[in-house]
Chain A
Amino acid sequence: MHYVAPTTVGEACSLLADNPGSRVFAGATDLVPQMRTGRLEPSVMVDLKRIDRLMSVSHADGRWTIGAATPASDLTHNAAFTAMHPGISEGAGLIGSDQIQNRSSLGGNLCNGSPAADSVPGMIAAGARAVIAGAGGERTIPVADVVTGPGQTSLAADEFIVEFEIDDPPANTGDAYLRMIPRTEMDIAVVGAAVRLTMDGDTVSAAGVVLGAVAPTAVRVPEAEAALVGSSLDADTLAAVAAAASAACNPIDDKRGTIEYRTQVAGVLAKRAAAIAAERAQNGA
């Protein structure tokens, strides 16, 4: 295995194109353990962290641009970003320990392809876009279209994500991400739920509900969104949100949770996240 650290996007693209079996990485918090156990044997490890564009966070023209290799702690410590997108920030802030936070990135969290990735549901609920570079130039697609299955993405072998674009939310919008893990830290989500709500007074005018770890990819729950829009988050609505979230689950039984458990708790977290998102929307996050 060879290590290279390009300093430009173009250089990285060339390296990927010229080296079959190469892998880009940022934090490598998943890749290195896979290499140690022999599950992954890349020919070249392309370190993206020396490319400035992938390591920067900026806000201009009504949107945030977040370098795909930026450590999660740079986002969670960014007060302006966190105030505007608390659900995405708290999702990023749940990826592992402080040690991991200083390495893990939104790009890696997404492209690792885990359905349990904590930062992904919030980004999808916010309509975030991924800017993808490859030998053929750059293209921009919705974050929701990146992951196609466990460990699988729609990116070509010579492509990688450069940055994410997240538009500023409309007025009176709030979001929240909750996850269930057996411990209080250091676990992979058994269930994750992101909810983003825009409020018109006491009434929900727009809603996004996205679940993690309950299907092969993060899933949007249109039935829960429909139940929320037009409601004032009364108990019946929250029950309907929970029921819709549970109904949207297509999980697996594994060492981290059962089908039955994930299905039930997805509803609980969706309902709780909705309540927090609404409060944030109304209190002018």
Chain B
Amino acid sequence: MTATENPTNYKWVGTRPIRHDGFDKVVGKARFGADLNLPGQLHGAFVRSPHAHARIVSIDTSAAEAMPGVKAVVTGDDFPALDPTHPNYDTAVNCMARGEAFYHGHAVAAVAATTKAEAKAAAAAVEVEYEVLPAVLSIADSMADGAPLANPNNHTKFAPPGDPSNLATITNLDRGDVDQAMADADVVVEMGFDCAHVHQGYIEPHACVVDYGDGKANVWCSSQGHFRVRSMTADVLGVDNSKVKVVPAEIGGGFGGKTTIYLEPIAAKLSEKSGKPVKITMTREEVLRGSGPAPSAELRIKIGATKDGELTAIDGWMAYGVGAFSDMAGLIGAMSVASYKFPNLRMETYTALTNTPKSAAYRAPSAPHAAWAIESVVDEVATELGMDPIDLRLKNAAVEGDLTAMGMPHPRVGLVECLEALKASDHYQSEPAEGSSRGMAVGFWFNIGEESSATVNLNEDGTANVITGSPDIGGSRASMALMAAETLGIDVYSITPIVADTESVGFTDVTEGSRATFATGKAVVEACEDLIEQLKARAATIMGVDVGEVAWVDGAAVSPGHGGGEGGDPLTLAQITAQAKRTGGPLTATASLNAAGAGPSFAVHCADLKVDEETGEIEIVRYTAVQDAGTAIHPSYVEGQMQGGSVQGIGWALNEEYIYNADGAMENASFLDYRIPVASDLPLIETIIVEVPNPAHPYGVRGVGETGIVPPMATIGNAVKAATGVRMTSLPMSPPKVLKRLNER
């Protein structure tokens, strides 16, 4: 369903072809990170810290090296010492500890052996002596006066040089006079919230194979961006980028968690030492203990409003717990406060280190925490004012020119359109089903541009290869092909979209920030536009006319002076490529760019749910996600992003959490007890795509990957409040927590 029809009548953009890589993925032929095996390949296994924080006194690898099948053992000593100010210093230390283990599960050594079982046995035989150090495990512990340092290498960013600190950022954003506005407000609501660490939960564990030879590491792995894998791996190994080649495998989910590396330099060093290819695949337990979850957070939000529903001021305190390495989560969380006009705003934010795994990006990183708190408080304001929650938001919704928390004016955005679409929807217009109650909330994400490259090669029969460096995480090959088909005017199935390795296409940033369809798509369109100019010139040669007299219409060159037809006989793309040899050789074009003008995306979600007041269970009976896609290139995959983001948010809202014991070890490191939603937990997820085109993209794309995870937690919390009168303030809203609050009612 499309609420706002795009006024432009495209032939391909907005259609739903079968994805080009689909066949291989339904017959089991697609090769993901763990699916390559090389002759003579060894298997790697890690030794991981059993302590949340410890000095590594010694590592004795002799027993492991003597075990059957063992070909190589590496520790931190095998890697060059990077300068602590190097941008990938933390990544290097996270891949393999150097003298100090910063969390339970931190890699301290690795072995390579002939079989998986031998590698596992040898890893268990590596003897590590630890001196246990004091650990900080919570945000409060981290920020307490006199707290031990989680990581002595951390210094507060944006601050004058000083002593090491547990705080990675201390930042304040403000505008107006918050204190006066609060004093003048008719209604003031203030509440505190907290969120546990959660994991992206991609189904494919991290995996790679590295074949080292002739001074070069040849890496096969799944990631959200193989050029970043290349530079990070090269930096950790202390070699030039030219000494690392990364071939992208299909990626089995990332959601931000595969924008960094864990395995590749370790496998490379094991391969270098053993002289054989080395494959490493994480177990699920290792993924949960040793990769990067999203931050935890503690937040306090105060909002003031006039009695007629103007939100006049917001006063926020936010602290994000990011694990053992520097991050900017607190600042980004504050910057994501962008949905309402708020003439007066003050955000005091902290990014706190804890001795837990190094946070990684997770879909709209930092925004879900902030939105959970703010949208809950906005809901309380609506209740106090007796206003419909959509009407209150419509009255205050940010439009073009309104300021984000950072102080920058919004470009053209579609929040009002999204709110109106939900208000008009069948869902919102219908009463909740018997026994269920309703909640809604808003989410925002910036989206980003950054660097992309695309090469488009026209084949002699008029088909085309579209080569990019953006891994296909959820249908992007089809989107690239659609934009190329639209631009060139040829059939989408005559295009072969290719994700090329780091030596076969121009540099392309990692797929994050919902940027692939926007930025890489823009490069594809620019390359196609370049080709059209070339095609027109070739056509002019064939037609014997001046190139200025040739136009490109529906995949063909036309010149009024050519042929007998009215307006000229068209010369199709295939007719031109057939004569390429006679007119100057192959037709190819490359475009590379650093895309500015990413279009922010808003989402509005609505849930109807039931609460079992005797057990605290929440059952979601109806769910609708509305989102501004700019333009939906392939609507099925836009809906898929909205639905997937919604359900990840539902999992975050209901049951997902890292449960640590007193020693900082994760107690629920399995898919049995880290409870991501299963099919029977959910209703169908209704979608409404709103299309407010982004003027900075040739087809209006905003990017849709991330915003969908921002609204669900508050949407559900608001519905629970409507159902029970209880305002949940702690994530997840698991049955024990809900029942406890119901008991206290």
* Mask of B106-130 contacts with A, CB within 8 angstroms, 1/0: 0000000000000010001000000
Min CB distance, A28 to chain B, in Å? 15
Cβ-based interface call for A138 (8 A):
no
Residue contact A187 to B675, C-beta cutoff 8 Å: yes
A182-B655, A256-B673 known; A268+B614 contact, CB < 8 A: yes
Residue contact B673 to A186, C-beta cutoff 8 Å: no
Residue contact A185 to B617, C-beta cutoff 8 Å: no
Please provide the chain A residues from 184 to 217 with a CB less than 8 Å away from any CB of chain B in the complex.
184-188, 190
Min CB distance, B347 to chain A, in Å? 34
CB-CB nearest in chain B for A272: B614
Query: What's the tally of chain A residues with a CB closer than 8 Å to chain B?
Result: 24
Interface segment out of the listed B15-23, B372-380, B676-684: B676-684
Min CB distance, B658 to chain A, in Å? 10
Residue contact B735 to A182, C-beta cutoff 8 Å: yes
Residue contact A257 to B736, C-beta cutoff 8 Å: yes
Residue contact B615 to A183, C-beta cutoff 8 Å: no
Residue contact A185 to B678, C-beta cutoff 8 Å: yes
Cβ-based interface call for B285 (8 A):
yes
B residues near A183, Cβ cutoff 8 Å: 655, 675, 677-678, 680-681
Please tell me which one of the listed residues B614, B675, B740 contacts residue A260 in the complex, with CB atoms under 8 A apart.
B740
Residue contact A186 to B615, C-beta cutoff 8 Å: no
Cβ-based interface call for B672 (8 A):
yes
B residues near A268, Cβ cutoff 8 Å: 614-615
Please tell me which one of the listed residues A37, A185, A256, A264 contacts residue B285 in the complex, with CB atoms under 8 A apart.
A37
Please provide the chain B residues from 655 to 693 with a CB less than 8 Å away from any CB of chain A in the complex.
655, 659, 667-668, 670-673, 675, 677-678, 680-681
Q: Which of A185, A188, A260, A261 has the most CB of B within 10 A?
A: A261
Cβ-based interface call for B88 (8 A):
no
CB-CB nearest in chain A for B677: A183
In the bound complex, what is the Cα–Cα distance between A154 and B120 (angstroms)?
34
Residue contact B740 to A182, C-beta cutoff 8 Å: no
CB-CB nearest in chain A for B738: A261
Cβ-based interface call for A265 (8 A):
yes
Please provide the chain A residues from 239 to 261 with a CB less than 8 Å away from any CB of chain B in the complex.
254-258, 260-261
Residue contact B673 to A255, C-beta cutoff 8 Å: yes
B residues near A269, Cβ cutoff 8 Å: 615
In the bound complex, what is the Cα–Cα distance between A146 and B285 (angstroms)?
32
In the bound complex, what is the Cα–Cα distance between A186 and B667 (angstroms)?
17
Cβ-based interface call for A38 (8 A):
yes
A residues near B681, Cβ cutoff 8 Å: 183-185
Please tell me which one of the listed residues B670, B734, B739 contacts residue A265 in the complex, with CB atoms under 8 A apart.
B739
Min CB distance, A118 to chain B, in Å? 14
Tally of contacts, chain A with chain B, CB under 8 A: 59
Min CB distance, B125 to chain A, in Å? 12
Residue contact A258 to B736, C-beta cutoff 8 Å: yes
Cβ-based interface call for A275 (8 A):
no
* Mask of A162-190 contacts with B, CB within 8 angstroms, 1/0: 00000000000000000010111111101
Cβ-based interface call for B654 (8 A):
yes
Residue contact A261 to B667, C-beta cutoff 8 Å: no
Residue contact A261 to B668, C-beta cutoff 8 Å: no
B residues near A185, Cβ cutoff 8 Å: 678, 680-681
Please tell me which one of the listed residues A33, A254, A261 contacts residue B735 in the complex, with CB atoms under 8 A apart.
A261
Q: Which of B615, B655, B673 has the most CB of A within 10 A?
A: B615
Residue contact A184 to B654, C-beta cutoff 8 Å: no
Residue contact A255 to B680, C-beta cutoff 8 Å: no
Residue contact A255 to B678, C-beta cutoff 8 Å: no
What is the interface of chain A mostly: helix, strand, loop, or mixed? loop
Residue contact A186 to B672, C-beta cutoff 8 Å: yes
In the bound complex, what is the Cα–Cα distance between A255 and B654 (angstroms)?
15
A residues near B617, Cβ cutoff 8 Å: 180, 182
CB-CB nearest in chain A for B120: A38
In the bound complex, what is the Cα–Cα distance between A254 and B743 (angstroms)?
20
Min CB distance, B671 to chain A, in Å? 8
B residues near A38, Cβ cutoff 8 Å: 120, 124
CB-CB nearest in chain B for A261: B736
In the bound complex, what is the Cα–Cα distance between A269 and B617 (angstroms)?
13
CB-CB nearest in chain B for A97: B678
CB-CB nearest in chain B for A267: B614
Please tell me which one of the listed residues A186, A187, A256, A261 contacts residue B739 in the complex, with CB atoms under 8 A apart.
A261
B residues near A255, Cβ cutoff 8 Å: 659, 667-668, 673
Q: Which of A37, A180, A269 has the most CB of B within 10 A?
A: A180
A residues near B678, Cβ cutoff 8 Å: 183-186
A186-B678, A255-B667 known; A261+B740 contact, CB < 8 A: yes
B residues near A258, Cβ cutoff 8 Å: 736
CB-CB nearest in chain A for B619: A184
Min CB distance, A148 to chain B, in Å? 25
In the bound complex, what is the Cα–Cα distance between A185 and B120 (angstroms)?
32
CB-CB nearest in chain B for A191: B615
Min CB distance, B27 to chain A, in Å? 21
Min CB distance, B196 to chain A, in Å? 12
Q: Which of A187, A255, A264, A269 has the most CB of B within 10 A?
A: A255
Min CB distance, B569 to chain A, in Å? 62
In the bound complex, what is the Cα–Cα distance between A254 and B661 (angstroms)?
10
Residue contact B654 to A182, C-beta cutoff 8 Å: yes
B residues near A190, Cβ cutoff 8 Å: 735
Min CB distance, B61 to chain A, in Å? 19
Min CB distance, A192 to chain B, in Å? 13
In the bound complex, what is the Cα–Cα distance between A265 and B735 (angstroms)?
10
B residues near A265, Cβ cutoff 8 Å: 614-615, 735, 739
A residues near B673, Cβ cutoff 8 Å: 188, 255-256
In the bound complex, what is the Cα–Cα distance between A77 and B680 (angstroms)?
20
Q: Which of B285, B659, B672 has the most CB of A within 10 A?
A: B672
CB-CB nearest in chain A for B736: A261
Residue contact A184 to B655, C-beta cutoff 8 Å: no
Residue contact A184 to B680, C-beta cutoff 8 Å: yes
Min CB distance, A27 to chain B, in Å? 15
In the bound complex, what is the Cα–Cα distance between A186 and B670 (angstroms)?
12
Min CB distance, B616 to chain A, in Å? 8
Min CB distance, B726 to chain A, in Å? 16
A residues near B677, Cβ cutoff 8 Å: 183
CB-CB nearest in chain A for B613: A268
In the bound complex, what is the Cα–Cα distance between A184 and B618 (angstroms)?
10
Residue contact A180 to B615, C-beta cutoff 8 Å: yes
In the bound complex, what is the Cα–Cα distance between A33 and B285 (angstroms)?
11
A residues near B675, Cβ cutoff 8 Å: 182-183, 186-187
A residues near B672, Cβ cutoff 8 Å: 186-188
B residues near A186, Cβ cutoff 8 Å: 671-672, 675, 678
In the bound complex, what is the Cα–Cα distance between A187 and B659 (angstroms)?
16
In the bound complex, what is the Cα–Cα distance between A268 and B743 (angstroms)?
14
In the bound complex, what is the Cα–Cα distance between A188 and B124 (angstroms)?
29
A residues near B124, Cβ cutoff 8 Å: 38
* Mask of B129-158 contacts with A, CB within 8 angstroms, 1/0: 000000000000000000000000000000
CB-CB nearest in chain B for A96: B672
In the bound complex, what is the Cα–Cα distance between A187 and B670 (angstroms)?
11
In the bound complex, what is the Cα–Cα distance between A260 and B668 (angstroms)?
20
Please provide the chain A residues from 68 to 87 with a CB less than 8 Å away from any CB of chain B in the complex.
none
In the bound complex, what is the Cα–Cα distance between A255 and B681 (angstroms)?
20
A residues near B735, Cβ cutoff 8 Å: 180, 182, 190, 261, 265
CB-CB nearest in chain A for B283: A36
In the bound complex, what is the Cα–Cα distance between A269 and B671 (angstroms)?
26
Min CB distance, A127 to chain B, in Å? 29
CB-CB nearest in chain B for A269: B615
Please provide the chain A residues from 111 to 161 with a CB less than 8 Å away from any CB of chain B in the complex.
none
Question: Which 8 pairs between the two chains have the least Cβ-Cβ distance?
Answer: A261-B736, A184-B680, A268-B614, A255-B667, A255-B668, A255-B659, A182-B655, A184-B681
Residue ranges of A at the interface with B (Cβ–Cβ < 8 Å): 33, 36-38, 180, 182-188, 190, 254-258, 260-261, 264-265, 268-269
| Known pairs A186-B671, A268-B615 / 12 extra A-B pairs, C-beta < 8 Å | A180-B617, A182-B654, A182-B735, A183-B655, A183-B680, A183-B681, A184-B681, A188-B672, A190-B735, A261-B616, A264-B739, A269-B615
Sample (8) of A-B pairs whose CB atoms are under 8 Å apart: A38-B120, A180-B735, A183-B681, A184-B681, A185-B681, A188-B673, A255-B668, A257-B736
